[in-house]
Amino acid sequence: MVDLKKGMKNILQRRFYYVLNDDKNDFFCAATYLDFNYKKFSYLQDSDKSLFYISKAKIFIKSVIKENIKQSEQVQSSESQNLQSSDSQVERENSQNIPSNQYTRKASRSHSNFLNTLQDPSEKNQVDIDPLMSKLDNEFNNYENKGFIFEEKVENMRFKALEFFSNFRNELKLLSKVARILYSVPATSVPSESLFSSAGSVQTELRNRLDPSVMEMISFIKGNGYE
């Protein structure tokens, strides 16, 4: 029995290596983080591990934003820039109507002022802040700390991830988009169909009085390849 437990444990570790390996489970971490019921990874019962996986999830979500969502945001911003450029063009046309001597006098006065050539040293080291990432950080903070009020009563207050983001998509616009991307990955039914097929060879007409729990354990052992 001890050998059986060790063997099954080794099989499960190999099978779910992508989950247990910290270098390859970014997608799993992000999907878990976006499940409202497990967003704090409290089931690990280790605060340091929970914070570690939350940070991994956030990094992966930011990469998804940059690869898939930022492009659409840039298209919208470019359209707004085109509108602004058309407005500035109108302003330039209006400025041409200003007498030339008055315009040159203003320009020379601004250039002659030596204070205009000085620059605050802090401005030289100022890093441009990405407004999209700043908005995403705010959503992270709201998602983790805000008390969301559910209008509909849900059994055990357990929302499915997509249902949650469907209800609060106006407050968590970016995270809602990421959730739709991650949870749209289709699950394959091949393993379950294979398991049903193997179960048919276990429970036959001559062996038809197996207890359901025994049948479940036999199928589990056979499905996970223990020999």
Mean pLDDT for the chain? Answer: 75
What's the rounded Cα separation, in Å, for the pair 108 and 46?
66
| Contact status, residue 70 vs residue 61, Cβ threshold 8 Å | no
Neighbours of 24 (CB within 10 A): 11
pLDDT of residue 62: 93
- The model's confidence at residue 10, banded by pLDDT at 50, 70 and 90, is confident
Contacts for 176 with CB less than 8 Å, ≥ 6 apart = 165, 166, 168, 169
Residue 90 has pLDDT above 60, yes or no: no
| Contact status, residue 203 vs residue 217, Cβ threshold 8 Å | no
pLDDT of residue 119: 53
Q: pLDDT, tens digit, for every residue of 28-74?
A: 889 989 998 889 988 888 899 899 999 999 999 999 998 887 766 65
pLDDT of residue 176: 93
Q: pLDDT, tens digit, for every residue of 97-150?
A: 555 555 455 555 555 555 555 555 555 555 567 888 999 999 999 999 988 877
Tell me the whole-structure pTM to 2 decimals: 0.57
pLDDT of residue 84: 62
Q: What percent of the chain has pLDDT over 70?
A: 61
Domain ranges in the chain are 1-94+130-185, 190-227
Q: Rounded mean pLDDT of 5-22?
A: 70
| Contact status, residue 199 vs residue 219, Cβ threshold 8 Å | yes
